[in-house]
Structure formats: structure tokens, C-alpha cells
Amino acid sequence: MGIKKWTVLSLILLGLSWRLAAPIDLTSIDLGRHIKNGELILRGTWDVLYKNYYSYTCPDYPFINHHWFFGVFCYTAWHFFGFTGLSVLFIIIRLAAFLIFFKLAERFSSFPIACAFSLLSFPLVASRVDIRPEVFSTLFCGLFWLLSGSYIKGKLSFGRLRAWLIALQIIWVNTHIFFIMGPILTAVFWLQAKMENNNQGSKDFKQLFWLMLGACLLNPSGLNGALLPLGLFQGFHFSLVENLPVFASINVISQSLWRSYIISLELLLVSWVFLLQYQEIKKNVSGILLVLFLGVSSLFANRLITLYGHFWIPLISLAVAGWMWNWPAVVKKNMTILLVAVGILAALTVDMDWRLRPAFGLARGANDSARFFKQNRLKGPIFNNYDIGGYLIFHMSPSQKLFVDNRAEAFPKDFFDRILIPAQQDNKSWRKLDGQYHFNVIFLRLNWSSDYEESFILKRLMDPDWAVVFLDDKVVILLRRNGQNSDLIRRYERDGARLKKRLAAVL
């Protein structure tokens, strides 16, 4: 690649980095729990692999920790480099994944077309900037496709391909539940080779497919862990925004992201319809299957938009280059310039707030509420809401167990339907639950997207049995009015009038 190309590509990566560099809001994401998982596993606490270790309400509920190795990775990085280093490291990994899909797009089309659609993908690939294990799934998907393509072109021996993919699959099955994409991609390439009467390729990818399935068994839960993706959404007993279908997410994701996704899907489908008018279906089976699979799956769960966005780059590049190949050179050149211009415009404006500067590490004040809890030696039992579970695990486990944490699959369905949600919806259920556990602390993240959680907070603010002792833009801590807490309440009690007013306006 020449100097000019590297300069252009560097600018593209720099622009994407700007979007990805966001502060870590530890109070609402899983990262704190992942780090604690890694710490405990390295210390020999194996219960986190199989049980609901962090909860005092359902401590023995069986749980398959399919992302344990991600926790080990995060803890190691955090231990040596802190949250700032962790932020930088994951931006590098995401850029590497993006670069792989860019190289695939360039291989299928040309450098300018790859640039154009890479820029157009910015709103999609940067739609989830938090540090999550799915980052590795995106990277591994790209590597599977890139390495398989190199083998098909004769640039990589089958022995090396097999060694690389088996190693990646073993890491993948212990890192993120999307590890099922390894066998799926292998099956897609197997079918493509079969359709093209490539006997050797078909034989090799068939072998790889079965090896990938075998590698999926190499996890702490064995067969149960390997089969986990088949019941992915059945295992989530709590309604999560990220698992909503795209058309049900219009009020919970940004309008510009929603429109970008819908437009991108329409462009992808139209481009492939045009392509198939010029080329035989059997030569494009793998592309057709990937378009259908990624398109349909992302429609049913908005959490897949980011993964879809990466695949979108080479898939649409392949299709557009395919039906432009016999255009006159001048027309092709002008169309490419237009696509690049539109791509630059989209990258600079769509779902982009230039007032937000790149930031690394923790958001300002992220640890204030946990510091308050520790410095004043507060004691449980703690009642907390779902979102803040990972934050409390990071700061307080294992000395303090939690009522609930942000793992929907780690609690039985009845726990959410008959205990957690009813307790936040009506006072009768709350009184019954409080009588059972005798809560001393209520530790809540202010969730402005949940009506019943907002209502619960408002009721507790007006409850004479409880006093607000900590309040910021993210978290509220309340203590029970009793002899044990009287001195702390006298020192720290805060007027919740502003929060009451805000909640009343929302409700």
C-alpha cells in the first residue's frame, strides 16, 4: 500500500477513533463485573463460572459464565494499565477489527470504494462504544473471513488455516456468546465451495466445520456451554433494550442511528439484487447467506447493529463493484468520487456530536457513590436495581452480596416477574419484600427509561422510613432511619426536592 493510501486510511481510522473514545460510565455497564470475574478466577474462585456468585437472593441458581476469559483479559489489562489503558487498548482492538473488514472490502472492490463504504458505516460500527466482549466477536468474525479468503486464493495453506481457526475458536467460545459465528462462517464457506464444485475446498471446509463444533466443547461447561447460543434470547428473563427488535427500538436508540441502519439495509439489499442480475447465484452463495443472516438477525436485536455494520462494509462493496465493473471508466470514476463524498459527509455529521471531545478512562465522578459507601462503612442488606449491578460487584464483591445484578440470565424468570418488578411497582409488594430481607441500604442508578423504577425512587423519597444520604446525576443512596444509621443520616441527609421534581415531571 502506497504512502497516499496509508495517509487516507490513517485519517479514516483517526475519525473512527474520535467516535469510539468515550468515557466509561461504570454505573450502567457490565465492565465492572467482568473485571471482578477475572480477578476472582485468577485467585481460584471457580464458583463464578457456574453459580450466581454475587447474589444473596439466588446464590445457587445455575449460571454458565460464557465470557469468563474476557473477564480475565479485562482484569489483567486494568490491573497493569488502569481504566485509561483499558480504554485505549479496546479502541485499538476495535480499529483492528474495522481494518480487517476494510481490507476485505478492498479485496472485493477497490481502495476508493472500500473507503467510501467504510466512512458510511461509521454510525453503525460506532453505535456501541462501551467495552464489551462482543468486540472480540467482531474481531474474530473478520479474522475467520480474512483467513478463509486467503486460503481460497491459495495464499494460506490449509494446515495453517486449520491451526489458526481452531485456536481462535477455543478463545472465542470462552469469550463471548457469539462464538457460534465461527461454525456458521465455516459452514457458509463450505457451501460456497460445494456450489462452485471445488472438491478440495469443500472437503477442507467440511473438516473445519466439524473441528469448530468440537472446539466449542472446550469450555468449563462443556456441552451445555456449547449449546448456549441456541437459547440465547430465551435465557434472558428480563427485558433488555439491546435485545429489542430494531422497529421496537425507535424510542431507545438515536433517530439518526435508526435511520442509518434502515437506509444501509435497503442499500445492501438493492445492491445485491442488482449484482445478481449480472452474476450467477452459485458464485455468490456465501455473500447472499451473509446478507440474509446479518440483515435478519440485526433486525431482531439492535445489539447486532454494530456487528452488522462491520459486515456491511465488504458486502456492499462487493455488490457495488460487481455491477459497476462494466461501466465506462469515466462514469465509474465519477460514481466513486460521489460515494466517497457522501461517505465523508456521513462520517462527519450522522449521529456525531462534535461538542463531545474524545475521552479515555472513567467518566468524571464515576466512583463517588462507591467511595461514599466505603468511607462511611455502610452495611447491607442492599436493595439495588438491575443496571447498577456490575458497578456494585466491582466495588463491593465479595464482601457485600447484591439483591440483583445486570445478568438477566443469572436469575430465574419468577425473580423478575414476581419479586423485583412488583416490588418497584407497588408499595404492598415492597413492604412484603422489605419485611423479608430487612434492607438497610437502597443503592439505585437513576434510570430515566424505566417508568416503574422512576416511580419506585419517587415513593422512597417520600417514604419516612428512608433518608437520602448521597445523590448525583447517576446514583442515589438511601439509608433506613434507625439507630444504626442515625449519626450518618444527621451528617449526610440531603433534600431530595430537586430529584422529586424531576421524577414528577418525567412521570
Residue 361 is assigned to a structural domain of this protein? no
pLDDT bin (cut points 50, 70, 90) of residue 501 is: low
- Per-residue pLDDT, 90: 96
- Residues 166-182: tens digit of each pLDDT: 999 999 999 999 999 99
> Do 374 and 412 sit in the same domain of this protein?
yes
At residue 506 the predicted structure's pLDDT band, cuts being 50, 70 and 90, is very low
Tell me the pLDDT tens digit for each residue of 354-392.
777 888 889 888 999 999 999 999 987 999 988 899 999
The reply to whether 62 falls in a domain is: yes
* Percent of the chain scoring above 90 in pLDDT: 56
- The total of other beta-carbon atoms located within 10 Å of residue 342's CB is 14
pLDDT above 60: residue 48: yes
In a domain, 357, yes or no: no
**Could you tell me if 344 and 385 lie in one domain?**
no
362 within some domain: no
Quick: pLDDT tens for 282-328: 888 999 999 999 988 888 887 889 999 999 999 999 999 988 878 88
What would the mean pLDDT of 267-294 be, rounded to a whole number?
90
Whether the per-residue pLDDT at 263 is higher than 50: the answer is yes
Q: Tell me, yes or no, whether 79 lies in a domain.
A: yes
Which of 320, 349, 378 lies at the terminal end of a domain, its last residue?
A: 349
Same domain, 330 and 385: no
State the total domains in the chain. Answer: 2
Asked if residue 192 and residue 62 are part of one domain, the reply reads: yes
The pLDDT of residue 351 is 78
| Residue 103 forms part of a structural domain | yes
Residue 112: pLDDT above 80? Answer: yes
Nearest to 481 by CA among 464, 499, 459, 457: 464
Report the pLDDT averaged over residues 247-262.
Answer: 77
Residue 507 has pLDDT above 50, yes or no: no
50 and 176 together in one domain: yes
Q: How confident is the model at residue 407 (pLDDT cuts 50, 70, 90)?
A: confident
In 3D, which of 75, 93, 68, 76 has the Cα closest to residue 218?
68
Domain boundary among 315, 349, 383: 349
Considering the domain architecture, whether residues 91 and 196 belong to the same structural domain is answered as yes
Mean pLDDT value across residues 81-96: 96
Is 355 part of a structural domain of the chain?
Answer: no
Per-residue pLDDT tens for 28-40? 889 999 999 999 9
Mean predicted confidence (pLDDT) in 349-356: 79
Using 50, 70 and 90 to split pLDDT, how confident is the model at 504?
Answer: low
CA distance 195 to 187: 12
Both 327 and 380 in one domain: the answer is no
Most confident of 47-51, 72-76, 304-308: 72-76
Residue 303: predicted pLDDT: 83
pLDDT at 220 over 70: yes
Q: What is d(CA 294, CA 264) in angstroms, rounded to the nearest whole number?
A: 12
Whether residues 122 and 255 share a domain: the answer is: yes
> Is the predicted pLDDT of residue 244 greater than 80, yes or no?
no
Residue 241: partners with Cβ closer than 8 Å, 6 or more residues away: 249, 252, 302, 449
C-alpha grid cell for residue 193? 465451495
Task: Record the pTM.
Answer: 0.92
316 and 412 inside one domain: no
The grid coordinates of residue 5 equal: 493510501
Q: What is the mean pLDDT of residues 191-219?
A: 95
Query: Which has the closest alpha carbon to 492: 373, 390, 386, 396?
Result: 373
- Domain span at residue 402 reads 368-506
In a shared domain, residues 188 and 302: yes
- The predicted pLDDT at position 239 comes to 57
- Whether 342 and 386 share a structural domain: no
CA separation for the pair 210, 419 (Å, rounded): 44
**Rounded distance between C-alpha atoms, residue 408 and residue 237, angstroms:** 5
Domain boundary among 314, 349, 384: 349
pLDDT of res. 242: 66
CB-based contacts of 196: which residues, under 8 Å, 6+ apart? Answer: 282, 283
Give the percent of the chain with pLDDT over 70. Answer: 92
Do 233 and 338 have their domain in common? yes
Q: Where are the alpha helices (DSSP H) in 153-284?
A: 158-173, 181-195, 199-216, 222-226, 255-278
Is 360 among the domain residues?
A: no
| 324/20: higher pLDDT | 20
Average pLDDT, rounded, for the chain: 89
Whether residue 320 contacts residue 109, with contact meaning beta carbons closer than 8 Å, is answered with: yes
